[in-house]
Structures are given as C-alpha cells and as structure tokens.
C-alpha cells in the first residue's frame, strides 16, 4: 500500500548536548535520533543521568547557557530547534511545544496565584485581555478535572494538593493547544493513585487532540500504560528503540532486559530479592570505550570494545538496538528464571 | 489578625521594658558616672554633691530611681543632667534633621542597591559584576567617619562644592536643605548600597536557578518579563524587610557617626554628645525611642512580608 509518507511532527537527528565543567566536557546527550508523529506517545526511558531530561529540555532551548555545547538538529515544523533564535524559540515555547515538569511544587511560582500564572502564558501568545485570559484559565482547570475551578484561580500553589498542582501544570501546558507536549517525569513526584489520574489525563489528551507526546520517565509501568513507542537511553545514547509491544515482548538489548527484569511483578512469586543491574552508570565526562553498557553487561565479549551502531538487527525495520549479540543469542540469553531479565554476573570475556 | 496584633503589642512592651532596664543599669555600672558629681560641676564641695544627690534622688535605691526616671519619661518631664534642659524638647528639635537624613538616604540606598545588585547578577562573572563587587566591598569596609571626613575635606573644604556640614531646615530654605543633605545622604548610603547590592545579587542568582523560572521560560513569555515578574519580584522580598529595619534604626539614631561628622544636630548626634558626657536621661530616652521604632517597624515588616509571600501567612487570617 502506498501512501504519501506523513511528515513527522518532530525529527531529532544526531542530537548532541555537552556541558563544559571543571572536570572537562560532560557529554550528556551523545548522538540521539528519533521521530515523533502527531497523535503518538513516545516514551524515553532510562536511569537518572542517562540524558533523557536534557534531551527533552534541549528541544525547548532550556539548556542553553554559556557552558553548553550543541550538535545535531531537532526539526519541528521546518524549524531547527537547536539553532533557532531566541525569538523563534519564545514563540514556539508554550504555544507549539509545551512542557510539563517533574515537581509541580517547585515548578510553579510560589508567590503568585495560579490563575494569573495560567493567564500569563495565554496572554504571551494570544491577544486576550486579563479577564478573558482568566476565563480561559478557568475552562482549562475544569478540563483537567479540578473542582470549583473559579475559586481555585485565586489559590496559591501551596494551597493545592500535589495531584491538583500537576493537573494545573498540565492545564498550563495545554493552554495554547500545543502540537507537541513534552512531559518530564510527570508522575515521579506523586503517589501511585494520583499517578493513575495523571496518566488518564495524558490518555485523554491523546484521544481528544492530535498532539504528539514525549513522555520522559524511568518507570516502565507508566510506559506500559500510555506509550505507543519507546526509546531506551543509557549514558547519553539510545540503546534500543521500538514499539511498546516489541520492547516488552521482544527486547533486544541487555540493558532493556535488566530494566524489565527489575520490575516487581504482582503475577509472579516474590523473588528473595529484587533483581538489580549491578554497577553504576559510567561518567559522562569519560565514557567507556566501545559499548557503554559493557562494564555492567554479563554477556559482554571481545567485539563489545567497538561501539555498535544503532541499527535494526532482528529483522523488524523500525526495531533498533545497539548490541553485537546475534538475534539467536539474544533470545536465549534474556531468559532468566523463566522470564526476561539480565543474568547475574558470570565470569565473561 | 487581632490575636497577632495583641501578641506583638505585648512582646513589644516587654522588649522595651527590658531595654530600658538594661540601659539604665549600664549607666549605673559605668565608672566615674556619678551624676551628682557631674551636676555639681568642677568646683564642688562634698556638701554640694550630697545636696544635689538628695534633690535629684540619687540616694534612692536603684529600682526606685528607675521607676522615677521612667515616670518622668512618660510624663515628658525628663531633664538632662548635663544641660538642665527638657530632653524630649531637644529630641523634637533634632528630629527633622534625622528624618531628612533617614528618608533621603533610605530612598537612595534602596534604589542604587537594587540597581547595582540587578546589574551584578545579570552580568555575573563578567567585568561589570567584578567591578561592582569591588565597589560594594569598599563601601562596606570604609568607616563612615573616614568617608565623611574625606568627603568633607575634598568636596567641601577644598573644592567648595558642598557646604562644610550643618543642617538647614527644609521649611526654611529647600535648596539649601538639599545642598546640605547631599553629602550626608551619599556617605550614609555607601555602606548600605554595598550590603544591599550583594544581598540582592545573591538572591537573584539563586532565584534564577529555581524551577519556576524554568517553567516561566517554557511558557514562552519574554525574557524581560521572566526577569522582572518572576526573578526580581521574588528576590526583592527579603530586601524589603532588611530595608525597613535599617530605616528604623537610622531614625532611632543609628546614623550617629554620619550626623556627628556632618554636624547635622540630629538625634544621633545628640546621643553621641550625651554619651560622652555620661548624661543618662537623653541616652535613655533616645535608646527607647530607637527601640520603639525598630520594634514597631519590624512588626509592620512582618505584616508586609506576609502580604508579599503568601506561604508564611499566619493561620486564621
């Protein structure tokens, strides 16, 4: 079937972000490429420090600074966000691309009422008077399920519960109907029940609008709940990318196996201890030679001293990974104790 | 709110009481401070001294003396030991000079402190910031009497641009008043500008890294609005409370050195001369007057603070 290739909403091509520090150049993002389409939820998964937040923030130019070094491109609507001027970025921020941050308590101005904070964004992009903007803010609050929205407009952030604050942040992000929403760990600072509600908001957003969503998280449970496609990051690079099903049922990279294996499962007998990936992520100022996961990987062998390219190695064109093991070996080695996981360290090559 | 006011009022009274007792006792403890001898003068006989001691009540036990003195203060009938004049009357005469100094300098140091702090923070690490830092440190380190004396010497005595100290009441001659006040204003402000610009610079740099500033940028509002509406506004909150306390202190006579160097005949200078003469009543009154101002203004500051930062509002508004 031939259909015209739909243009991606966002195309990230070999994005590089480094920060100059006293200890040298820390390469937080080292050659990351992915696409996001309208109406799709892309999850970026990884440990703390893998570069996923920096990737998200760089798309909005929030990492720009005197010691930041950028490379590569991120094309949105024909405009390269990495090289965009400040004015171009200002117009895109909040209107075309919006971001929801991790901790709603610190992400909102504590001495300003939430009504004006919402109105401020609206009036930065639309020519509305103060009252009209506040009215729109009230509608937005109702839309994200905050009761007594009119009263809440006059509330300060600390007068709201964590869940309501995050809903307010989402309302703020949606206020100008963005085409791309970047959610950076939106549920991490909240308890599980609120988490479910917030994810429901994301699902509703996907159903009601055509917006694309980049969901940055370290929680695979969240990923399983809302994501369409997943990208796994490790030490500043993507190590695996594929659809949700591909990642959960046919993971190709040992790091992904480790992540999946470390999830506590309700439907299985309780293990004596939670499996964890031994070791710690490498320093981004001096990453290891070759495959970056090699020092922690129980399946490493001689070839791993050479960095694998991110390619489709298992026969599915869009399922990419960075591991030299053959597809056969992968299927075999990822079975640990009857489920997918990372084998404990044996003496390897 | 009423409970708040009542509580503050009670603590204010207690503080003032404690300060009055402390000041009174300090003077009792100072050697050579026998007021009777001072009142009697150089050529006094033991009989004169004893007689004075009787009339003035210095032979009473301390707590009685304290009570009598406090009574006199509250009825406005305080007589200074040295000059035999009514202290409250003196203070009323000296107040305009001190008020002129305080209000003028207060406005100048607040405006320039904020300006320099803002410039320093915006150009942090660059030449402007370093230059302003050096200036601030010089301002903070230079003793007021040195700065004042140097200023008087070069600008008044030598160059004749400014008058050689003294105070001209505003009601008498506004232009002369201004002419006389400029140097004292600048000299007094230098110290505070140094402090305030550093405090604001530090607050600004901290605030700029806060998450909500990042959110503000992500909303797509202009950089100028981010700076003014979010960064500056929040950073100014501690400055406001600092300012009101410093201002109150200056009114209460804390500008003692500036007033003396420039011979403004203000409350501070009156305190200086009284201390030198070990004259208890004026010092007692001025100390309490100053304490009263500071305590009242600090209570007002707390209220303003609560208005500016809703997080610390008292429960049960």
At B133-174, the pLDDT tens digits run 999 999 899 998 899 999 888 888 888 888 888 888 888 888
Note the pLDDT of residue B164: 82
DSSP A61-101: TTT-STTEEEEEEEEETTEETTT--HHHHHHHBTTTEEEE-
Q: How close, in Å, is residue A32 to chain B by CA atoms? A: 22
Residue B37 predicted with pLDDT over 50 = yes
Q: Which residue has the higher pLDDT, B114 or B42?
A: B114
Distance in angstroms (rounded) separating the CA atoms of residues B300 and B303: 5
Asked if the model's pLDDT at residue A230 lies above 90, the reply is yes
Closest residue, chain B, to A108 (C-alpha):
B212
Do A293 and A208 meet the contact criterion of CB atoms below 8 Å apart?
no
In whole angstroms, what is the distance from residue B105 CA to residue B181 CA?
9
What backbone phi and psi angles, to 5 degrees, belong to B117? -60, -45
C-alpha B311: how far from its chain's center? 29
The predicted pLDDT at position A233 comes to: 96
What is the per-residue burial (b if ≥16 Cβ within 10 Å, else e) of B234-266?
bbbbbbebbbbebbbbbbbbbbbbbbbbbbbbb
**β-pair type (A68-76, A79-80):** antiparallel
* Cβ–Cβ < 8 Å for B272, B261: no
Higher pLDDT, A319 or B29: A319
Identify all chain A residues contacting B220, using CB atoms and an 8 Å cutoff. 90-95, 121, 124-125
- B317 contacts on A by Cβ (under 8 Å): none
The torsion angles phi and psi of A340, rounded to 5 degrees, stand at -75, 130
User: Among A21-30, A320-329, B5-14, B27-36, which stretch is predicted with the lowest mean pLDDT?
Assistant: B27-36
pLDDT at B51: 75
- Which member of B215, B309, B311 has the closest CB to residue A107? B215
Phi first, then psi: what are they for A24, rounded to 5°?
105, -170
Question: Which positions in chain B have a beta carbon within 8 angstroms of at least one beta carbon in chain A?
Answer: 210-212, 214-223, 225, 229-230, 233-234, 237, 308-311
Return the closest-CA partner of residue A263 out of A216, A224, A215.
A224
pLDDT of residue B33: 61
User: pLDDT tier at A122 (50, 70, 90 boundaries)?
Assistant: very high
The nearest CA of chain B is from the CA of A109 a distance in Å of 5
Q: Mean pLDDT across the stretch A322-346?
A: 85
- Residue A141 binned pLDDT confidence (cut-offs 50, 70, 90): very high
pLDDT at position A214 over 60: yes
Q: Give the model's pLDDT for residue B31.
A: 66
Measured between beta carbons, the chain B residues lying within 8 angstroms of A124 are 219-222, 225
Per-residue pLDDT, averaged over A45-69, amounts to 92
Q: What residues of B are in contact with residue A165 (Cβ under 8 Å)?
A: none
Q: What value does the mean pLDDT take over residues B256-263? A: 89
pLDDT above 90 covers a percentage of chain B that reads: 24
pLDDT over threshold 70, residue A1: no
Q: What is the pLDDT of residues A16-56, one digit of tens each?
A: 999 999 888 999 999 999 999 999 999 999 988 899 999 99
Percent of chain A with pLDDT over 70: 97
Does position A2 have pLDDT exceeding 60, yes or no? no
- pLDDT score of B7: 80
The residue behind tokens 């600092």 is B242
Is the model's pLDDT at B75 over the cut of 80?
no
Of residues A171 and B78, which shows the higher confidence score?
A: A171
Mean pLDDT of the B120-132 span: 89
Q: Which of A99, A109, A125 sits opposite B218 (nearest CB)?
A: A99
Closest-CA residue of A relative to B124 is: A66
Q: Which residues are A230's β-sheet partners?
A: A43, A242
pLDDT band at A10 (very low <50, low <70, confident <90, very high): very high
User: Which pLDDT score, from 0 to 100, does residue B290 have?
Assistant: 85
Instruction: List, for residues A243-293, the tens digit of each pLDDT value.
Output: 999 999 999 999 999 999 888 778 888 878 888 888 888 988 888 999 999
Could you report how far apart the first and last alpha carbons of chain B are, in Å? 6
pLDDT at position A116 over 90: yes
Three-point CA angle A308, A314, A317, nearest 5°: 95
Give A16's Cβ-side CA count (13 Å radius). Answer: 12
Q: What is the mean pLDDT of residues B228-242?
A: 89
Inspect the interface and report whether the beta carbons of B211 and A106 lie closer than 8 Å.
yes
Rounded CA-CA distance B219/A126 in Å is 12
**Pair A49, A292: CB distance under 8 Å:** no
Tell me which of A64, A85, A94 to substitute to probe the interface with B (most B C-beta atoms closer than 10 Å).
A94
- In this complex, which of B212, B214, B220 lies closest to A95 when CB atoms are compared? B220
Closest-approach residue (CA) in chain B for A97 = B218
- Which residue of B216, B217, B309 is in closest CB contact with A111? B309
Residue A227: pLDDT band (50, 70, 90) is very high
Q: What is the pLDDT averaged over residues B22-33?
A: 74
CA dihedral B213, B217, B219, B225 (to 10 degrees): 80
- Closest-CA distance of chain A to residue B163, Å: 47
B251, pLDDT greater than 80:
yes
Biggest CA pair distance of chain B: 86
Query: What is the rounded average pLDDT for all residues in chain B?
Result: 84
Of chain A, the end-to-end C-alpha distance in Å amounts to 47
Could you tell me the two tokens for A121?
Answer: 């964004």
What ipTM did this prediction achieve?
0.86
Of A86, A99, A108, the CB nearest to B212: A108
pTM higher than the cut 0.95? no
Q: How far is A234 from chain B (nearest CA, A)?
A: 25
Lateral strand order in the sheet of A24-36: A24-36, A10-21, A68-76, A79-80
Strand partners, A18: A27, A69
- pLDDT level of residue B313 (50, 70, 90 thresholds): low
Query: Do B219 and A94 count as a contact with CB atoms less than 8 A apart?
Result: yes
Q: In what order do the strands lie in the sheet with A180-184?
A: A97-100, A180-184, A212-217, A41-45, A229-234, A237-243, A320-321, A311-312
């Amino acid at each position: 079937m031939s259909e015209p290739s739909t243009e991606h909403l966002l195309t990230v091509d070999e994005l590089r972000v480094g920060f100059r520090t006293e200890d040298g150049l820390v390469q937080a993002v080292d050659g990351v490429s992915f696409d996001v389409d309208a109406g799709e939820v892309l999850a970026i998964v990884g440990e703390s420090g893998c570069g996923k937040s920096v990737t998200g923030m760089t798309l909005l130019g929030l990492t720009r600074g005197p010691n930041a070094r950028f490379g590569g491109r991120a094309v949105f609507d024909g405009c390269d966000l990495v090289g965009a001027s400040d004015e171009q970025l200002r117009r895109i921020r909040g209107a075309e691309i919006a971001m929801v941050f991790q901790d709603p308590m610190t992400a909102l101005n504590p001495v300003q009422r939430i009504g004006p904070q919402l109105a401020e964004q609206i009036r930065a992009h639309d020519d509305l008077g103060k009252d009209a903007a506040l009215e729109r803010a009230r509608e937005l609050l109702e839309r994200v399920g905050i009761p007594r929205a009119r009263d809440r407009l006059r509330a300060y952030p600390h007068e709201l519960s964590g869940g309501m604050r995050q809903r307010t942040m989402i309302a703020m992000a949606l206020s100008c109907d963005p085409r791309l929403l970047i959610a950076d760990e939106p549920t991490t600072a909240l308890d599980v029940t609120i988490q479910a509600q917030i994810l429901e908001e994301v699902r509703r957003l996907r159903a009601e609008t055509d917006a694309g969503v980049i969901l940055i998280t370290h929680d695979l449970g969240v990923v399983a709940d809302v994501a369409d496609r997943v990208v796994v990051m490790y030490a500043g690079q993507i190590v695996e990318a594929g659809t949700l099903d591909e990642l959960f049922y046919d993971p190709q990279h040992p790091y992904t196996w480790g992540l999946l294996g470390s999830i506590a499962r309700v439907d299985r007998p309780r293990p004596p201890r939670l499996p964890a990936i031994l070791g710690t992520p490498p320093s981004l100022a001096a990453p290891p030679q070759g495959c970056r996961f090699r020092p922690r990987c129980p399946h490493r062998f001689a070839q791993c001293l050479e960095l694998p390219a991110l390619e489709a190695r298992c026969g599915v064109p869009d399922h990419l990974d960075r591991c030299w093991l053959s597809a056969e070996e992968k299927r075999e080695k990822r079975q640990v104790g009857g489920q997918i996981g990372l084998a404990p360290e044996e003496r390897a090559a | 709110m009423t409970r708040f006011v009542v509580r503050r009022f009670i603590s204010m009274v207690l503080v003032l009481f404690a300060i009055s007792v402390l000041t009174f006792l300090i003077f009792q403890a100072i050697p050579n401070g026998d007021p009777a001898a001072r009142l009697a003068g150089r050529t006094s006989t033991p009989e004169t001294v004893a007689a004075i001691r009787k009339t003035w009540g210095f032979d009473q036990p301390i707590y009685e003396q304290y009570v009598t003195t406090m009574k006199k203060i509250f009825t406005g009938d305080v007589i200074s030991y040295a000059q035999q004049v009514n202290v409250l009357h003196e203070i009323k005469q000296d107040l305009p000079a001190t008020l002129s100094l305080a209000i003028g300098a207060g406005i100048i140091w607040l405006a320039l402190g904020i300006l320099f702090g803002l410039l320093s923070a915006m150009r942090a690490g660059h030449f402007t910031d370093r230059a302003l830092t050096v200036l601030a440190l010089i301002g903070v380190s230079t003793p007021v009497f040195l700065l004042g004396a140097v200023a008087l010497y070069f600008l008044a005595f030598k160059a004749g641009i400014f008058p050689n100290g003294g105070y001209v009441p505003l009601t008498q001659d506004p232009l002369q008043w201004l002419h006389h006040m400029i140097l004292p204003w600048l000299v007094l402000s230098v110290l505070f500008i140094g402090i305030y610009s550093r405090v604001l610079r530090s607050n600004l740099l901290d605030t700029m890294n806060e998450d909500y500033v990042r959110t503000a940028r992500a909303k797509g509002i202009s950089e100028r609005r981010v700076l003014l509406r979010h960064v500056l506004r929040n950073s100014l909150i501690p400055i406001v409370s600092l300012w009101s306390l410093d201002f109150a202190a200056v009114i209460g006579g804390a500008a003692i050195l500036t007033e003396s160097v420039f011979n403004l005949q203000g409350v501070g200078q009156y305190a200086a001369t009284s201390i030198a003469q070990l004259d208890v009543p004026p010092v007692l009154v001025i100390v309490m007057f100053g304490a009263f101002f500071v305590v009242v203004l600090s209570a007002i500051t707390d209220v303003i603070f609560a208005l500016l930062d809703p997080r610390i509002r008292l429960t049960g508004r």
